[in-house]
C-alpha cells in the first residue's frame, strides 16, 4: 500500500487535537484525513495554527470530508480551507436519513446534485467524490441500490470506498471494487469485529483484528486508481491502540 492516513474522526472523543497529532506522528503516520466539524468554523488564524500542528508532527492532510451544506452554500470557504491545508481530494461523507430519496430517480438526481457541487473543486484540480456508508447498498423497490444511481447521476464523481460499510450494507466489496474500481481514489481501511464482540466499540475492530479479508482486498484495490488508504474506526475506546495496531497491519499487506 501507499502511505497510510488516519481519519481524525476516529479520535474526536480524545481531545485536544494537538495531542492527537503528536501521538499519530509518534506512531509513524505521515497523513491524516479531516472531517467537517474539525475545521468548518475555524478562522484563518486557527486554520494556520492547525496546519502548523500538522507540519510540526510530520503530517499532511491530502484528503478531507466536507458536509454537503457547506459544499453547496460556501464553496469559496471550502476552497480556502483546502488551499490552506494542502487538501487535494474532497469527499462528501453523508446524507441524513430524512434527506434520502426513496427511489432510483431520486438517487440519480442526488448524484447530479453532487456532480454540480463538485464542479468548482474539479475545475481547480481537486479530486471530488462521495464517501459511502451502508444505506447506499440497501435495495430499492425495483431491486437496484442507491450507489448505482448516484454514480449514474454523477459521471465524474470519484469514490472514497469505505469497505467495512459496504459489508455492513449487505454487499460484496470485491464485486463493487470490480464494478466501480475505476472511480476509487481513496479507501477507508476499517474492520468489523466477530459477531457479538467489541460491542463497546459498536462492533468495529482494529484493522487486522476483525473479519475482513484485507490481504485479498488490498490485492483487489491495487488494480484501482486509489491513492489514499485511510485507517478509520468509528468508536475506538483507545485511539492510540487503534492507530498503532492498524498501521502495523496495513503496512504488512
Q: What is the pTM of this model?
A: 0.97
pLDDT for residue 134: 98
pLDDT at 25 over 90: yes
Dihedral, 211, 59, 34, 181 alpha carbons, nearest 10: -50
Q: Which residues contact 183 (CB under 8 A, 6 or more apart)?
A: 129, 151, 157, 158, 159
Nearest to 242 by CA among 2, 27, 34, 32: 27
Q: Phi and psi dihedrals of 16, rounded to 5?
A: -85, 160
Q: How many CB atoms lie within 10 A of CB 35?
A: 19
CB 240 within 8 A of CB 12: no
Nearest to 60 by CA among 10, 4, 13: 4
pLDDT for residue 2: 65
Q: Which residues contact 190 (CB under 8 A, 6 or more apart)?
A: 162, 163, 164, 204, 207, 231, 232, 233, 234
| pLDDT tens-place string over residues 188-242 | 999 999 999 999 999 999 999 999 999 999 999 999 999 999 999 999 999 999 9
Query: SS3 for 248?
Result: helix
CB 56 within 8 A of CB 18: no
Query: SS3 for 28?
Result: coil
> Which one-letter DSSP state was computed for residue 140?
P
CB 169 within 8 A of CB 189: no
Radius of gyration of the chain (CA): 17
Q: What value does the mean pLDDT take over residues 126-137?
A: 98
Nearest to 121 by CA among 75, 86, 186, 52: 75
Provide the pLDDT confidence category of residue 58 given band limits of 50, 70 and 90: very high
**Mean pLDDT taken over the chain:** 97
Amino acid at each position: 500500500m501507499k502511505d497510510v492516513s488516519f481519519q481524525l474522526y476516529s479520535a474526536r472523543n480524545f481531545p485536544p487535537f494537538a495531542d492527537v497529532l503528536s501521538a499519530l506522528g509518534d506512531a509513524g503516520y505521515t497523513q491524516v484525513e479531516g472531517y467537517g466539524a474539525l475545521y468548518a468554523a475555524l478562522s484563518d488564524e486557527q486554520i494556520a495554527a492547525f496546519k502548523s500542528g500538522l507540519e510540526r508532527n510530520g503530517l499532511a492532510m491530502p484528503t478531507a470530508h466536507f458536509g454537503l451544506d457547506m459544499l453547496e452554500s460556501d464553496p469559496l470557504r471550502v476552497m480556502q480551507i483546502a488551499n490552506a491545508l494542502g487538501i487535494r481530494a474532497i469527499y462528501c461523507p453523508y446524507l441524513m436519513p430524512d434527506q434520502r430519496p426513496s427511489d432510483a430517480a431520486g438517487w440519480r438526481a442526488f448524484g447530479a446534485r453532487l456532480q454540480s457541487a463538485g464542479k468548482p473543486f474539479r475545475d481547480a484540480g481537486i479530486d471530488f467524490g462521495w464517501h459511502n456508508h451502508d444505506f447506499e447498498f440497501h435495495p430499492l423497490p425495483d431491486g437496484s441500490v442507491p450507489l448505482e444511481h448516484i454514480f449514474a447521476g454523477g459521471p465524474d464523481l470519484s469514490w472514497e470506498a469505505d469497505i467495512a460499510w459496504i459489508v455492513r450494507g449487505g454487499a460484496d466489496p470485491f464485486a463493487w471494487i470490480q464494478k466501480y474500481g475505476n472511480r476509487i481514489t481513496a479507501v477507508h481501511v476499517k474492520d468489523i469485529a466477530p459477531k457479538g464482540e467489541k460491542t463497546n466499540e459498536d462492533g468495529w475492530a482494529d484493522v487486522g483484528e476483525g473479519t475482513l479479508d484485507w490481504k485479498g482486498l488490498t490485492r483487489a484495490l491495487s488494480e484501482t486508481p486509489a491513492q489514499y488508504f485511510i485507517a478509520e474506526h468509528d468508536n475506538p475506546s483507545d485511539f492510540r491502540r487503534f492507530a498503532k495496531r492498524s498501521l502495523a497491519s496495513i503496512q504488512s499487506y
